[in-house]
A and B are shown apart, each in its own frame.
Chain A
Amino acid sequence: MKAVTKKYLSAAAIYTASAAAGHAAELGAVDTPIKLALNEWTGQHVTTRIAGEMLKAAGYKVEYVTAGYMNMYRALAEGEIDAAMEIWSSNVSDEYAKQLEAGGVTEIGDLGLEAKEGIAYPAHVAEICPGLPAWEALKDCAGQFATAETLPAGRLVDYPADWGTPGADRVTGFDLPFKAVPAGSEGALITELRAATEKKSPLLITFWQPHWAMSAYDVQFVDLPVGEPACFDDPSWGPNPDATFDCDFTPTRVFKASWSGLADKWPAAGEILTNMQLSVEDQQPMMGQVDVDGQSVEETVDAWMQANPDKWQPVVAAATE
C-alpha cells in the first residue's frame, strides 16, 4: 500500500509540474489522522477508501472509523468524525439538518454519483406481468402480486418507513390497485429480491441504483412519466388528473459533508474532499467486485486507482502543488 501511494505521489508531482501552476493550499496538521466514516454499505466503503487513499497520497494520515449512518451526525458535528463521503438526500436523518443548521457540520459538495430511484422488479417478473416495464401494465396484473396481507390489492414493497414512503405516494398518485408494505431495513429489501428470484415469484419493490443487487438479481425499473416540479403540487399534471405524485422519482442528490473545523485544520484535505468526484460507472463495477466476486474493498480500490490515475490525481495535485 505504502509503495503504491509513493508511486502516485511522484506521478502526481510530474503531472502538475507540467500543468499550469495552481495555487497550493496549506497541508495543516499532517500528524493528526483524518477520521473518515465507514457506514453500512459497500458503495460507501469504496467511496470512502478512494477519498482516504487520495488524502494519503497528499501526505495525510487517515483513520477509518465505523459509524452508523443514521446516528453519526452528532459525532461529525463534534469532530469525532471528520468527514462522511457519501450521504444520500433521500434517506438522511433529520439530525443532519439540525447539525447543519447549528453549524457543526458543513456540506462539501456533491459526489457526482447520479443515483436513480424507482419502482422496480426482478427480470423474471416480466413473464408474470407481460406488459412491463410500462406502468399501465400494473393495473391489470395487481392480482398476481397479491398476498394474504394485502388481498385483494397487489403488494408493493416500499422503503423502510424512516426513509420516507415514495412507493405509497406512487400507488396513490397513479391510482394503482396496490398496497405499499414498508420493509424494515435494507436487508429485508435484499432478502425479498433474493427470495423472489429464487422462487420465481412475483415482486414489485421500491429500489435504487447504484446498488450491487441491480445486476446480481437483474432488477429492472418500471417506466414512469418523467417528473416535473408541477407533478408534485398540481394534481392535473400527468396521467392521473386527480392526484399529485403521478410521475417518476425526483433524482436523489448524493453529497459529502465534513466537520466544520476540517478546512481550517487541514486546508488541503478540505479542498481534496470537496473536489473529489465519483461516478456511477466507476462505483457500481467496484461494488460488484466486492459483493458478488468476493474481493476485498482494499484490493478493489487499489486496482482502480492504479488503472485510473486521471480520475483522482488532478484533484490531489491541484490542492497540494
Chain B
Amino acid sequence: MSAWIDTGLTAFFDLIKPGARMLSVALAYPMDWTKALLQHTPWPLLVALVTALGWYVGGVRLAVLGFLGLSFVVASGYWVESMNTLSLVAVSVPLALLLGGATGILANEVPRVKSAVQTIMDVMQTVPTFAYLTPLLLLFGFGPVVGLIASAIYAAPPMARNVMLGLERIETDIKEAAIMSGGNRVQQLFLIEIPSAGTQIMVGVNQSLMAALSMVIIAAVIGGFNDIGWEVLLTMRKAQFGAALLAGLVIVAFAIVIDRISAGMARQQQRHSRQGALAIIAAGALAAVLAWLYLPAAGQLKLLVPVADWLDGRLTVFVRANGAALDSIKNTAMFYGLLPLRIGLDGAVLPFTWGFLWAGWMSAALFAASAAIGGVIALQGRVAAGLSMPILAGIIETGIAELPWPFVLIGAGAIGFVAGGRRLALFSVLMLTAVLLSGLWEKALWSLYLSGAAVLTCAIFGGAIGLICALSPLAWRVVQPICDMLQTIPLFVFLIPVLMFFQIGEFSAFLAIILYAIVPMIRYTRHGLVSTPPDLIEAAISSGATTWQTMWEVRAPYAAPTILLGLNQTILYAFAMLVIAALIGTTGLGQSIFLALGQADIGLGITSGAAMAILALVADRLVQGFAAERRRALGL
C-alpha cells in the first residue's frame, strides 16, 4: 500500500512542483531581508530597541524582562545564529496567524465547514512534521524556507482553534447589540466580535508563537541555515547537555520576551512615556558605538560557556551519585506501570518482580469483579461507564500492545456508540480498519500504548497543577515560565539528561512525551478556571460558598469546555511527540517515520503519519464524545 502511495504522490508532486518552487522563492525574500536587517543592526542597539519597546508597553517590568532576555542571548555567544532563527520566525508566525485566523473566522461564518475544519486542524497537528518533510523537500527545494513552511503549518491550528472558541463564546447580548447598531456583517465581526473575543484570541497568538518556535529545530534537521536549532543538533549529537541547554534557552528567551511584550501590546492600557523609550534607544546607540570601538562582535562573546560546562559537570556528578536510585525508579515504573499496560498482567506479573505468577483464576476474578462493578454502575443509569469496565479489564489483562484486532475494533465501536451514537461508532471502526489494512497495526498499538499511558499521566498531574495555579497566583508565576520553556525549548535538549538517567527505552520515551504534552493540560485548566465571569463568582460568594465550593460548583463546570480543549491538545501533543521519542529509541510508528525519512520513502512516511493521526483523532473524538455527554448532563 505504501509503495502505491509513493508512486502516486511522486507523480502528483512533480506536477505542482513549479508553483511550489515559486512560492518558496517568494517566501525567501522577506526572510532574507529580515535576516540582513537583523544581522547588520549592532547588537547594543537591538537590545536597546527591545528594552525601549518593553518600557513603552509595560513599564519597568517589561523593560527589565526585554533587557535581560536579549542580554542573555548576547552572552550566550549565539547572536548570529539566533538572528537567523528570528528571521525565520518573523516570517512564519505572521503567516501562521493569518492562515489560522482566516480559517477560524471562516469556520465561524460558515457553520457547515466547521467540523471539516476541525478535522483538518487535527491532521495538521498530528501528522508529524517529519512525515511530510520528504515531500516538502521535494516540493520546496532545499534550505530554510522548508523549515519556515513546516513551522507555519504546525503553528496555524492553535490560532484557528482559539479564534473559533473565542467567537463562539461571545455573549448573545453583545452580538445583538452589534446587529442593532446597524453595521454590516464585516463591521460586526471586526469592530465588535473579534475585539470582544480578544483574550481568547491572544491565547491563540501565544500558542501559535510557541508552536512556531518549537519547530525551529525542524528547520535545522533540513539544514541550509546556520541557526540556533543547528547548534542544538550539533551539541545534542555530542551529548553535551550544558551547551545544548544554553542553545535551547536562547529560543526560550526569545519566546518569553516576544510573548510578554505582545501580550502587553494587546492590552488596552496607559502607555509609558515616549521620552523614556527614546532615552533608552539613545543609550543603546551610544553603547553600539562604544561596543563597535572596544568590544568584539556579538558572536565572539561567549560569557556563558563556563556556566554550560559547569552544568554539564553537575549532570555527571549527579548521575554518578544517584545511579542506583534512578535505576530503581525506572524499574518500579516499568514493572508495576508500563509493562502491565503494554503486555498485560498475564505477561508482566512474574515471581521475581511481583512475587507471584499470574494464574488463570486471577484473570477470572478480575473479569468477574469488573463485570460486577460495571453492572452496578450501569444499573444506576450510567450505561457508558458501566460498559467500559469490562473493556478496561480486558485491556489490563492482555496489555495494549497485544490486544487482538477484533477486540480493538469492537471495543472502539462500542465506546464510540455510547459516547456519540452511531456516527462516532462508524467513524472509529472505519478509521481503525484503515490502520489495520495499512500493515502497520502492531506498531500502531505500540504507539497507542505509549501515548495512552502518557496522556493518562498528563491528565492527572497536569489537571492538578493547573488547579493549584488557578488557586495561587504565586504558583502560576513559577509554573508559567516552566511551561513556556517546555513548549519552546527543543526537546532534544532534554533527551540527554533523560537518557543519562534512564537509558534508551520506553520509560525515557514516556517521560519525554509527558514533558511536552502536560503543558496544554496545565495551561488550559488554569485558564478555564480563572476566566469564570466575575458576576458568577460574586453570586456564589454572596450566597456563602467557600473557596472550594466555588471551585467545584461554579468554576469547574464553567471551565469544562476549556479544560476539554486542553485535553484535546494534550492528546494531539502526545502523539506528535512520538516522533521525537523515536530519537530516544522506540519501536512504534515514530520509528517508521524516521525509517521513511532515511529511505526518502514518501509512501511509508505518509502512511505512518496518517496512522498516527488516525489514532490521535479516534482517541480525541471518543474523549470529546464523552465530554459532550457530560456537558449535556451538567446542562451547559
Contact = CB atoms under 8 A, between A and B. Distances in A.
Interface of A: 39-42, 65-68, 70-75, 78, 80-81, 91, 93-95, 98, 147-149, 157, 160-163, 181-188, 190-195, 198-199, 201, 212, 291
Contacts of A148: 330-331, 334-335, 339, 505, 507
B138 interface: yes
B529 interface: no
B500 A201 contact: no
Interface of B: 133-134, 137-138, 141-143, 220-226, 230, 233-234, 236-239, 316, 319-320, 323, 330-331, 334-335, 339, 492, 495-496, 499-501, 503-507, 581-587, 591, 594-595, 597-601
B585 A187 contact: no
Given A80-B141, A199-B323, A184 B506 contact: no
A184 B143 contact: no
15 contacts: A41-B237, A66-B226, A71-B134, A71-B142, A148-B339, A161-B591, A163-B598, A184-B582, A184-B583, A187-B239, A188-B584, A192-B499, A193-B239, A198-B316, A199-B319
A157 B492 CA distance: 19
B504 A157 contact: yes
Nearest to A42: B238
B151 to A, nearest CB: 16
Contacts of B233: 40
Given A71-B137, A183-B504, A192-B504, A81 B142 contact: yes
B584 A199 contact: no
Nearest to A74: B137
Contacts of A185: 236-237, 583-584
Contacts, number: 154
Contacts of B496: 187, 191
A211 to B, nearest CB: 11
A162 B143 contact: no
A122 to B, nearest CB: 13
A181 B504 contact: yes
Given A66-B225, A78-B142, A94-B600, A184 B586 contact: yes
A81 B224 CA distance: 9
A93 B600 contact: yes
A52 to B, nearest CB: 15
A213 to B, nearest CB: 8
Contact of A68 (B223, B335, B500): B223
A161 B138 contact: no
A22 to B, nearest CB: 36
A199 B322 CA distance: 9
A175 to B, nearest CB: 22
B499 A188 contact: yes
Given A186-B237, A192-B504, 13 more contacts: A66-B223, A66-B224, A71-B137, A71-B222, A72-B223, A94-B600, A95-B599, A148-B507, A160-B594, A183-B504, A187-B236, A192-B503, A195-B319
A137 B527 CA distance: 59
A194 B500 contact: yes
Contact of B599 (A94, A198, A201): A94
B27 to A, nearest CB: 16
A162 B142 contact: no
Contact of B598 (A39, A94, A291): A94
A163 B598 CA distance: 8
Nearest to B324: A199
A121 to B, nearest CB: 15
A71 B585 contact: no
Given A160-B585, A184-B583, A191 B142 contact: no
A93 B133 CA distance: 14
Nearest to B309: A294
Q: Which 3 A-B pairs have the closest CB atoms?
A: A162-B598, A95-B600, A75-B142
Contact of B601 (A65, A66, A94): A94
